[in-house]
Amino acid sequence: MSEGSRAGSLAFGQVVIGPPGSGKSTYCRAMREFLGRLGRSVALVNLDPANEALPGPCALDIAELVTLPDVMDGLGLGPNGGLLYCMEYLEANADWLRERLRGLGAHYLLFDCPGQVELYTHHQSLKNVFGQLAKWNFRLAAVHLVDSHYCTDPGKFISVLCTSLATMLHVELPHVNVLSKMDLIEQYGKLAFNLDYYTEVLDLSYLVDHLAADPFFRNFRRLNEKLVEVIEDYSLVSFVPLNVQDKQSMQQVVQAVDKANGYSFGAREQHSLEVLMSAAVGADFHFSSTLAVQEKYVQSQDKAVEEEVMDL
pLDDT tens-place string over residues 190-217: 888 888 888 998 889 888 888 878 777 8
Cβ(173)–Cβ(111) under 8 Å?
A: no
Query: Residue 292 domain-assigned?
Result: no
What is d(CA 86, CA 166) in angstroms, rounded to the nearest whole number? 22
Averaged pLDDT, 13-42 = 93
Banded model confidence at residue 185, pLDDT cuts 50, 70, 90: confident
Query: Residue 216 domain-assigned?
Result: no
Number of domains within the chain: 1
50-55 own/partner pairs: CB under 8 Å, 24+ apart? 50/79, 50/83, 50/114, 51/25, 51/112, 51/114, 53/25, 54/25, 54/112, 55/25, 55/26, 55/28, 55/29, 55/112
Query: Residue 251 domain-assigned?
Result: yes
pLDDT tens-place string over residues 31-53: 999 999 988 999 999 999 988 77
Phi, psi of 118 (to 5 degrees): -65, -20
Banded model confidence at residue 290, pLDDT cuts 50, 70, 90: low
Query: Residue 28 domain-assigned?
Result: yes
Banded model confidence at residue 103, pLDDT cuts 50, 70, 90: confident
Compute how many other C-beta atoms are within 10 angstroms of the C-beta atom of residue 175.
Answer: 20
**pLDDT greater than 90 at residue 291:** no
Total-model pTM: 0.83
Query: Residue 286 domain-assigned?
Result: no
Query: Residue 277 domain-assigned?
Result: no
E strand or H helix at 109, and its extent? strand 108-112
Banded model confidence at residue 227, pLDDT cuts 50, 70, 90: very high
Q: Please list, in sequence order, all residues whose beta carbon lies within 8 angstroms of the beta carbon of residue 134, skipping any fewer than 6 positions away.
A: 140, 173
Give 11's Cβ-side CA count (13 Å radius): 25
Query: Residue 246 domain-assigned?
Result: yes
Average pLDDT, the chain: 84
Query: Residue 6 domain-assigned?
Result: no
What is d(CA 54, CA 153) in angstroms, rounded to the nearest whole number? 31
Domain containing residue 256: CATH number: 3.40.50.300
Domain that holds residue 140: 11-201+237-264
